[in-house]
Amino acid sequence: MNTPHTISRRHALAAGAGVLGAGLLGSLLGSGTARADTSGDDNYWHLRVDLAGYRAKTARVGDVNFSYREGPANGPALLLLHAQQMDWFSYSRVLPALASSFHVFDVDYQGHGTTTTSPTYPMNANRIGADLAAFTESVVRGPAYVTGNSSGGLLTAWLAANRPDLVRAAILEDPPLFASEYPRIMKTIAYRDFASSAKAVAQGVDDFLLFWIADNEEFINENIGEGAGAVLTAAIKAKRLLRPGQPVEMAIVPDDTVRLFLRGMDHQYDPRFGAAFFDGSWNTGFDHATTLARISAPTMLMHANFSWVDGDILYGAMDQDDADLAMSYLTHGTYNRVDAGHVTHLDKPEEFVSTVTGFFTQP
C-alpha cells in the first residue's frame, strides 16, 4: 500500500498535468505520467469503440432524455457511470475489452454529455439516482453490474442502496465518500472547481469551458505554462470552427485525463451539477454513511492515490480514514487500493478491465 504524504501546494501543482475538478480529483497525484503514445489518439479510440460494436442511442425516461452507448450483448449487463465533468467517452480505452464479457451500457448521466433535462431539473443524488434507476429498469432491463467513477461512484452507491433489485454487484471507483459532504468538502481541491460552477450559474455563463479556463488562470499557468490559458482558448475556438457541434478533443493536450475533461466541459456539462456540490444541495437526503450501510450487494471500493497539500487540503477523492470508514459500513465489501490517478480507467485501463472482469464474474 502506498503511504500518502503531506506536500506543499506548489510542489503538488508541479507534480503532474492534472486539472481541477470532481472528475479529476486525484489526477494531480496519479501515476505522474502522461499517456502520449498511439493510445492517446482520440480518433483511434472512436474507431476502436465503433468496431467493438457500440452504438449511440437515446431513451426518454420520465423527464430525462438519456444519451448512451450500448455494446453487443456478449454477457450480463454492465452499467458505467463516468466522473463529473466528463462523459461516456472517458471509458473509451476500456470499452472494447469490456464488450467481450458484458453487455455494456455507457450512459451520460444528468448534467453531462448529450443527455438533456429541463433547466429546472433538480441536481441532487436522490433525483438523479431515481431517474438512473428508471433507466436501468426500462432500458438496461436490470439487474446489472454497476461501476461508477467519482460522482458516478456516489450514484452507484445510491443505486445499490436504494434499488438493490437492480444491482447484482458494484464497484465504486474512487468516489468522494465523506469528503464531498459538508464541512469536509471545504478542505478539498474539488471545492475550488465547484466554486467555478457556482459562479458560472450565478452569472448565467453560456460557455462554461472557456469560463472555467479563465477562472482557473493561476492553476493553468502553474501546471501547463505561463499564458497557457490563452493558447488553450484560441485552440478551442479554432477546433470548434473545424468541427461545429462536436465536443472538442484537443490533440495538443497529451494527457488523456486532462484532454477528456476539457471535452466533457465543452457545451456538454451543466454547471448546476457542480454548483449543487458547492452549496451542499446535491447531498440533500443522501447521507453517505447511511447509504453504504444499506448496500447488500457485493461491493468493491477502489481507492486511488491521494495526498494532503499544505497539510490541510485533500488532493484526491478520499484519504485513508475515509476509505477505512466506508469499508466499516459495507456488509459485503472488498477494498482495492490502486496506484493510479482518480480516473483509474484512463490511467490504468488494463488493470481496470482485469479488476472489473474478475470481480463481476467471480463464482
Residue 1 maps to a domain? no
Does residue 57 belong to any structural domain of this protein? yes
The arithmetic mean of pLDDT across residues 252-265, rounded, is 89
Confidence at 225, pLDDT banded by 50, 70, 90: confident
- For residue 20, the model assigns a pLDDT of 35
Domain annotation covers residue 240: yes
What pLDDT, in 10s, does the model give residues 64-82? 999 999 999 999 999 999 9
Single-letter amino acid, residue 140: V
Q: Evaluate whether residue 265 is within a structural domain.
A: yes
Please identify which residue in the block is written with the cell numbers 452507448. Answer: 69
Q: Tell me if 248 is assigned to some domain.
A: yes
Q: What is the CATH number of the domain that holds 92?
A: 3.40.50.1820
CA distance 173 to 299: 11
pTM: 0.90
Q: Which three cell numbers stand for residue 3?
A: 503511504
The reply to whether 298 falls in a domain is yes
Question: Are the C-beta atoms of residues 81 and 107 closer than 8 Å to each other?
Answer: yes
- Per the structure, the count of domains in the chain is 1
Using one digit for the tens of pLDDT, what is the confidence trace for 165-193?
999 999 999 999 999 999 999 999 999 89
Q: Which domain holds residue 183?
A: 6-361
For 230-251, how does the pLDDT look when each residue is reduced to its tens digit (9 = 90+)?
999 999 999 999 999 899 998 8
- Is residue 183, in this structure, part of any structural domain at all? yes
